[in-house]
Amino acid sequence: MSLTNCRFYEDKYPEVDSFVMVNVKQIAEMGAYVKLLEYDNIDGMILLSELSRRRIRSIQKLIRIGRNEVVIVLRVDKEKGYIDLSKRRVSPEDVIKCEERYNKSKAVHSIMRHVAEATQTPLETLYENIGWPLNQKYGHAHDAFKISITNPSVWDEITFPSEPVKNELQQYINSKLTPHPTKVRADIEVTCFGYDGIDAVKDALRAAEADNTPENQIKVRLVAPPLYVLASQCLDKTLGVKLLEEAIVKIEERIKAAGGSCTVKMAPKAVTEHDDAILQELMEKRERENTQVSGDEDSESDDE
Q: What is the DSSP string of 189-245?
A: EEE--STTHHHHHHHHHHHHHTT--SSS-EEEEEEETTEEEEEEEESSHHHHHHHHH
Show pLDDT as tens, one digit a residue, over the chain (304 residues).
778 899 999 999 999 999 999 999 999 888 899 999 999 999 999 998 898 877 766 676 778 999 999 999 999 999 988 999 999 999 999 999 999 999 999 999 999 999 999 999 999 999 999 999 999 999 999 999 999 999 999 999 999 999 999 999 999 999 999 888 889 999 999 999 988 899 999 999 999 999 888 878 999 999 988 999 999 988 888 899 999 999 999 999 999 999 999 999 999 999 887 887 888 888 788 777 777 554 444 444 444 4
Residues of the chain with CATH 2.40.50.140: 19-90
First and final C-alpha spacing in the chain: 90
- Look at domain 95-177 and name its CATH class: mainly alpha
Distance CA 153, CA 157 (A): 8
Q: Which CATH number fits domain 182-289: 3.60.20.10, 2.30.22.10, 3.40.50.300, 3.30.70.1130?
A: 3.30.70.1130
Q: What are the residue ranges of CATH 3.30.70.1130 in the chain?
A: 182-289
Verdict on whether the full-model pTM lies above 0.85: no
CATH number listed for the domain at residues 19-90: 2.40.50.140
